[in-house]
Every structure is written in structure tokens, then in C-alpha cells.
């Protein structure tokens, strides 16, 4: 199964991708996570990416395309993947299409995670990540005390806020989404791939909506 999760920052792409990988046995490919790993490793890519990410801007398409090409060649992506955070521009979407068509493995669906603007802002300002296991919490909607931090996996969880979740940067990221990424909604609708998902409410209810949209698509294959 090859899908793209499309949606504004804070729409739950990463959280829901985590839940879908268990159900479908395909990896989550998050370009944001790949870039954060490069920043943490201090690689040349990481050094270039850090300032751009902290400013809430997008990295250039060439860089992102070479990262995604390399990632999709890995053995674990041969039976499918859940793309989270890619594509984010029309050029990236076009090139992804070319790449997947060339290997005869086109996308099955693009799920658009729809969340209203105010909820997005609260999700992003409240987001905190465990330093040890990367589990994501929200101080408003799923604080670390409920469920217990890392569900007991990390003895002394230390939570941090992503630098790009600072309020001023969030505003920039939402603007960048509206300008550069939102045009992909029409793009994928025109390609007959778009499924709209109401991405608010209980996590498990949202997962179920996504699964039923995917099942419908897989039946049509």
C-alpha cells in the first residue's frame, strides 16, 4: 500500500501514520523525521536544514527529492509506505509521480487530514516529545500524566518542545502550508487519488475513518 498523508502541520499525520504502520505493515516515511535525524547527527544536510526548519520554511525541492529517492529505495519500502510530510510542493508531487510510475508502483491514495485552524494552533503549541522514545504528547489534549509517560517505557521522561513549534514559527509554517502545499489538494483530487478525512475527535475514530477510506481504495485496485 502506497499512500500520502496530506495536511497542515498539526493535523495528526505523524500520530496517525504510527497507528497505520501497525495495521498495514509498511513503514512511515517522514521527511521531517529524516531531517531532524540529520540535524541531530550534525551531518552536512543537517547543518543546512536546521536554520530553514527553525524558520518554518521549506527545504529546496532538489534536496528533498534526493532524500526521498534514497529512502524509497530501502528494502523496507519495497512493499509500500506511508509518506508523511512529503510531497509539500507541486514540483515534489510531480517528481514523486514520475518516480513511482517508472517502477510501476503508483500511489493508491492521498488522505487529506482536515482540522480547523484553531485546533491546529492548539495542537502545535501544546506538542511535546519525549527525548528518549520520541513519543508525542500534548499538554492540552493528551498530557504526559494521562496516559502515563511513554506508557512506562521511559523511566524518567524528559519532554521537549520542537524548536519549530514556537508560536511565531507555527504561524509561518501554516502560511507556508497554505501557499505551497494546499495546492496539492486540487492536484491529487484531479488525479482521482484524494480522500478527505475528518481528522478531529478521538484518535482511534480518526484511524478508523482512514482505514475505511483505504479499504475502499484497495478494493478498487
- Residues labelled as active-site residues: 13, 88, 127, 162, 173
Distance, in Å, from the CA atom of 207 to the CA atom of 26, rounded to the nearest integer, reads: 15
Q: Which residues contact 72 (CB under 8 A, 6 or more apart)?
A: 29, 81, 99
Select from 31, 77, 81, 213 the one that contacts ligand AMP (CB under 6 A).
31
Q: Does 129 bind ligand AMP (CB under 6 A)?
A: no
Distance of CA 132 to the CA centre of its chain: 20
Q: Does 26 bind ligand AMP (CB under 6 A)?
A: no
Q: Does 88 bind ligand AMP (CB under 6 A)?
A: yes
Distance, in Å, from the CA atom of 63 to the CA atom of 65, rounded to the nearest integer, reads: 6
Q: Which residue, 1 or 58, has its beta carbon nearer to ligand AMP?
A: 58
Residue 192 phi/psi, 5-degree rounding, is 70, 25
Q: Report yes or no: 112 and 195 within 8 Å, Cβ to Cβ.
A: yes
Distance, in Å, from the CA atom of 156 to the CA atom of 116, rounded to the nearest integer, reads: 34
Site string for ligand AMP, 49-78 (x = CB under 6 A): ---xx--xxxx----x--------------
Q: Does 32 bind ligand AMP (CB under 6 A)?
A: yes
Site string for ligand AMP, 148-177 (x = CB under 6 A): ----------------x--------x----
Binding region for ligand AMP (CB under 6 A): 9, 31-32, 35, 52-53, 56-59, 64, 85-86, 88, 92, 164, 173
Amino acid at each position: 500500500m502506497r499512500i500520502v498523508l496530506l495536511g497542515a502541520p498539526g493535523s495528526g499525520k505523524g500520530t496517525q501514520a504510527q497507528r497505520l504502520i501497525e495495521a498495514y505493515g509498511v513503514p512511515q516515511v517522514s521527511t521531517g523525521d529524516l531531517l531532524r535525524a540529520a540535524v541531530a547527527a550534525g551531518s552536512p544536510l543537517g547543518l543546512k536544514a536546521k536554520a530553514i526548519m527553525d524558520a518554518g520554511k521549506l527545504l529546496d525541492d532538489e534536496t528533498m527529492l534526493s532524500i526521498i529517492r534514497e529512502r524509497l529505495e530501502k528494502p523496507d519500502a519495497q512493499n509500500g509506505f506511508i509518506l508523511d510530510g512529503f510531497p509539500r510542493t507541486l514540483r515534489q508531487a510531480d517528481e514523486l509521480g514520475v518516480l513511482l510510475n517508472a517502477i510501476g508502483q503508483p500511489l493508491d491514495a492521498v488522505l487529506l487530514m482536515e482540522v480547523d485552524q484553531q485546533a491546529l494552533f492548539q495542537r502545535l503549541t501544546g506538542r511535546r516529545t519525549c527525548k528518549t522514545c520520541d513519543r508525542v504528547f500534548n499538554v492540552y489534549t493528551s498530557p504526559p500524566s494521562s496516559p502515563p509517560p511513554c506508557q512506562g517505557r521511559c523511566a524518567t521522561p524528559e519532554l521537549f518542545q520542537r524548536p519549530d513549534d514556537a508560536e511565531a514559527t507555527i504561524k509561518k509554517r501554516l502560511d507556508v502550508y497554505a501557499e505551497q502545499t494546499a495546492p496539492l489538494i486540487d492536484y491529487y483530487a484531479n488525479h482521482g487519488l484524494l480522500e478527505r478525512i475528518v481528522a478531529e475527535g478521538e484518535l482511534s475514530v480518526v484511524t478508523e475513518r482512514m482505514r475505511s477510506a483505504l479499504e475502499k481504495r484497495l478494493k478498487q485496485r
